[in-house]
Amino acid sequence: MNDTEALKYAAAAKALEFVEPGMKLGLGSGSTSAAFVELLGMKVRDGLNVICTATSNDITQKARSLGIALAPLADLAPLDLAVDGADEADPALDLIKGGGGALTREKIVEAAAERLIVIADERKWVKHLGRFPLPVEVVEFSHPVTRMHIAKTATAFGYGDIPIALRHKNGAPFKTDNGNLIYDCTFGEITDVPALADALSCLPGVVEHGLFVGMAEALVLARAGGVEVIKPVR
Ligand code: 5RP
């Protein structure tokens, strides 16, 4: 295991302390969430009783293979707790998510949870969101027109003519678990996160974007020097 992987497991192990018997849990997606699911699976094997819902097909498969009980979100909501990774987190604990493409299901699941705990290694901690390209999930129909709306919004908000790239995987456009496409939008430093989030949400053709505003209760941040639980400064 390399250093970054070890930090992911360290954050995931700390987040397990938030889990209590009988809880209804939301499982995030990505490699840090996968580490959490692995450790949760060990607890379940030792007798922990929880029921979970997953934010992607990958994590559903992983949780199932580890013997973790799963149910649809609609049968479980409201959830007691969701645990998920992030691509960036700022001091307000606003997040960029969706590097793995699961942003829409993550937002639906996490908005249905009483508490969201974010787990991350130190690379994800930033002063300002926006260096990581913001994923925006769009319907396939006429998606270049949706791209045009995103570009106009970026210009109107003063970010200029930003790079907006259709995500590809294995030489073809990447499809989300919902059958949609993703545009990765490099805004640079995002100066007003809630305003941009609201504007993107209103665009025709946009299904969801990866700005998670005011949702996280705490960030479990693993650094080389140790693991810290960070509360939002709002
Ligand atoms: C997936 C996500 C992930 O949480 C995010 O991309 C972080 O992934 P990783 O833990 O692999 O760095 O939002 O849609």
Q: What dotted CATH number matches 3-122+213-223?
A: 3.40.50.1360
Specify the pLDDT at position 132: 98
To test ligand 1's pocket by mutation, which of 9, 27, 31 has the most ligand atoms within 8 angstroms of CB?
31
In the reported structure, the alpha carbon of residue 117 is separated from the centroid of ligand 1 by a whole-number distance in angstroms of: 14
Task: List where CATH 3.30.70.260 sits in the chain.
Answer: 134-207
| CATH 3.40.50.1360 domain extents, the chain | 3-122+213-223
Query: Does pTM surpass 0.85?
Result: yes
CA of 219 from ligand 1 middle (Å) equals 14
Minimum CA distance residue for ligand 1 atom 5:
86
Q: Which residue lies with its CA nearest to atom 1 of ligand 1?
A: 100
DSSP SS3 for 180: coil
pLDDT of residue 90: 98
Closest ligand 1 atom number to CA of residue 99:
6
Domain 134-207 has CATH 3.20.20.70: no
From the list 88, 106, 110, 137, the catalytic residue is 106
pLDDT tens digits for range 30-59: 999 999 999 999 999 999 999 999 999 999
Residue 226: the pLDDT is: 97
Residue from 36, 97, 109 to probe ligand 1 pocket by mutation (most atoms less than 8 Å from CB): 97
Q: How confident is the model at residue 234 (pLDDT cuts 50, 70, 90)?
A: confident
With residue 200 as reference, give the H or E element that holds it. Answer: helix 193-201
Q: Can you give the pLDDT at residue 178?
A: 98
Q: Is 106 a catalytic residue?
A: yes
- b or e along 36-58 (b: 16 or more beta carbons within 10 Å of the residue's beta carbon)? bbebbbeebeeebebbbbbbbeb
Query: pLDDT for 183-233, tens place per residue?
Result: 999 999 999 999 999 999 999 999 999 999 999 999 999 999 999 999 999
Looking at residue 88, what is its pLDDT? 98
Residues with CB under 6 A from ligand 1: 28-33, 84-87, 97-103, 106
* pLDDT at residue 6 greater than cutoff 90: yes
What values do phi and psi take at 175, rounded to 5?
-110, 135
pLDDT at 1 over 90: no
